[in-house]
Structure 1
Amino acid sequence: MIADLEQRFPALEDPRTGTRIGIGVASGCDDVYISSDSPDAGSNRLLPLVMASDIQAGTSEWSGRHLVNPWKDGRLVELGNFPWLGAYYEVNGDRLWGRHVAKKQPRSWYLTIDRIDPGLLAKPKLLLPDMKAAAHPVLDPGDHYPHHNLYFVVSDAWDLEVLGGILLSDITNLFVGGYCVKMRGGTYRFQAQYLHRIRVPDPSTSQARVRILRDAFRLRDTAKATTAVAAAYGIDASFFTGG
């Protein structure tokens, strides 16, 4: 089944549709870089951060955590221009200097492991937790930046609720389960290397199917999504239900 779908359909990540898969920011020291406080003095250096625990219910329920952000427009800021930020990092200097990334780049000792993508925060995106028993895509409308325990999908062509319906369906579990090793307790790893294996139909699928997939995503109805997706792929939905 997987081999057949790989032959007939394009990959989820596709430059023709502007669809891209990525992972959230790794800081190298979450105890320092992630804060639940938001003092006014540092508000322009605080990036609203969404964690895997924030999307457990199927919607984004932000916990109020921020990344204390050393990046601006893709470049590391000068601490002299941001006194509050410089003071905060200096107070936590021992832990920041102890990281491999700081020792490797001593002049930039306060950088996070990953650079912040300046356009990602405001871009609507589907978020998928790294570890889950089944696919769990959740829509962030452009309010938060993902943490490194979340993968994201952005697209120029897809209605993300429709794509979310496809990713909610059992087709995602088929592809990911076909390539990754299932962990103890039946948990899958929804990592980029496996998400890249997923094949998708054309974004301009029938309007009736679009409505079904959008509704299924909003209702978190995996069975309804799977039935619609099976029709889009031209396969029998009973393959997934065992009927």
Structure 2
Amino acid sequence: MRGRGDIYVGFIERSLRLLKPGGTVGFICADRWMRNQYGAGLREFVASHYAVENVWTMHDVDAFEAQVSAYPAITVLGNHAQSSVFVADTTADFGAATASALVKAARDEAVKEFSDFGVKAHRLPHWFDGGELWPTGSPARLALIEHLNDTFGPLHDPTAGTKVSIGVATGADKVFITRDPSVVEPERVLPLAMRRDLMSGTFDWQGNYLINPWAEDGSLVPLADYPRMAAHFSSHPSLRERFVAKKDRLSWYRTIDKVQAGLTGRPKLLLQDMKTTIHPVLEQGGHYPHHNLYYVVSDAWDLEVLGGILLSRISQAFIEAYCVKMRGGTLRFQAQYLKRIRVPHPDSIDVDTADSLRAAFRDRDVDAATHAAAAAYAIDLKEYDLA
């Protein structure tokens, strides 16, 4: 158990430790531990000592007597050497008759793929090692992920000057975000980039400002030096009741995250957290990102070229393979998943391909971006079910 992990992590570990050689145990519970940081220890434990037999994702199925949004999966684990794994993905149409056929197919080692009303399934020859996030997808998509992981470096690479991170969490948005910058001193506001600014596919600022209590050296500015800001904060006593304020009474007016000096002026690719498809938008500089946005900054990339790669179905495949999925096909575009996207070295992309990626990004053309990205990666889209 670690971090904000769910209690079922402990039950799975205890159940595995009770298994005799050759024994199996199955759970119907949330699959979050497979693709979240808090599940790393359990994934390592399973991969090192046990075997994954079945993983059937049932996010849109009423798996329990009561209707709950639990994002469940049926996961069967065994105390034996790892062999093949039967992986299934269901829809809301999955029912009892299909379930019986799926069970029969899963028990037949000769069945490599299975498709029926409300379900698609396939048999993987092996499972994944260690505590890394466990990807999901068809055999072709998993082969793509494996190839790109082995061939290219990650998007997040501080040594190459490229960083993926999240915007500022304030802990009190109603206090720290305003459309009236005159409520505090002019030097204490920053134009704030928020989710609605990205809706059109180009950055369209809606006029929100962040009230910034931080100096460039990372310290809190003295309230005595800014009487208008002091009056604004003092008129909101709820600021002092926050957990972060109670930890240090002298810094009661801080935001949860520090504001990073220099980030505002840098060009950034901004990505909204919850969407069905990846949606990178270029912010040319001058705005600080809010906590509901993730951002990419780079010293090495032309961000429009990188934007074309991120707009492609190849990057989408990484997110679909690794991220926590919500009901209705909504994906989580969090930093831990964005960082896993593999990208070519910017210097390896020829001029024509770079031009095509840049044009596709400007036009928001996913098909063109995908074909240009395939050229940059030197892969065959048909081989990986991306054509």
TM-score range, shorter chain: over 0.9
Q: Which amino acid aligns with 2:326?
A: M
Q: Does the aligned pair in 2 maintain the 1:170–1:240 contact within 8 Å?
A: no
Q: Does the aligned pair in 2 maintain the 1:10–1:200 contact within 8 Å?
A: yes
Equivalent position of 2:372 in the other structure? 228
Q: Does the aligned pair in 1 maintain the 2:308–2:358 contact within 8 Å?
A: yes
Q: 1:30 to 1:57 in 2, by over 3 A?
A: same
Q: Does the aligned pair in 1 maintain the 2:169–2:257 contact within 8 Å?
A: yes
Task: Indicate which of 57, 77, 82 corresponds to 2:226.
Answer: 82
Q: 1:242 to 1:218 in 2, by over 3 A?
A: closer
Q: 1:31 to 1:167 in 2, by over 3 A?
A: same
**1:211 and 2:355 are equivalent in the alignment:** yes
Q: Does the aligned pair in 1 maintain the 2:168–2:259 contact within 8 Å?
A: yes
Q: Which amino acid aligns with 1:176?
A: I
Query: Which residues in structure 2 correspond to 1:93-112 (within 5 Å)?
Result: 94-112=237-255
TM-score (norm 1): 0.96
Q: Which amino acid aligns with 1:133?
A: T
Quote the Cα distance in structure 1 between the aligned partners of 2:230 and 2:183: 15
Quote the Cα distance in structure 2 between the aligned partners of 1:194 and 1:241: 21
Shift of 1:34: 0.5
Q: Does the aligned pair in 2 maintain the 1:231–1:237 contact within 8 Å?
A: no
Moved over 3 A (4+): 239-243
Structure 1 unpaired stretches of 5+: none
Higher relative contact order (CA 8 A, sep 6+): 1
Structure 2 unpaired stretches of 5+: 1-143
Structure number having the greater strand percentage: 2
Equivalent position of 1:238 in the other structure? 382
Q: Which amino acid aligns with 1:233?
A: Y
Equivalent position of 2:321 in the other structure? 178
Shift of 1:105: 1.2
After superposition, the CA RMSD in angstroms is 1.3
Q: Does the aligned pair in 2 maintain the 1:79–1:85 contact within 8 Å?
A: yes
Q: Give aligned-pair identity as a percent.
A: 53
Shift of 1:181: 2.5
Q: 1:122 to 1:212 in 2, by over 3 A?
A: same
Quote the Cα distance in structure 1 between the aligned partners of 2:384 and 2:312: 10
Quote the Cα distance in structure 1 between the aligned partners of 2:233 and 2:183: 17
Quote the Cα distance in structure 2 between the aligned partners of 1:41 and 1:29: 16
Q: What is the aligned length?
A: 242
Equivalent position of 1:197 in the other structure? 340
Quote the Cα distance in structure 2 between the aligned partners of 1:202 and 1:215: 19
Q: Which amino acid aligns with 2:251?
A: S
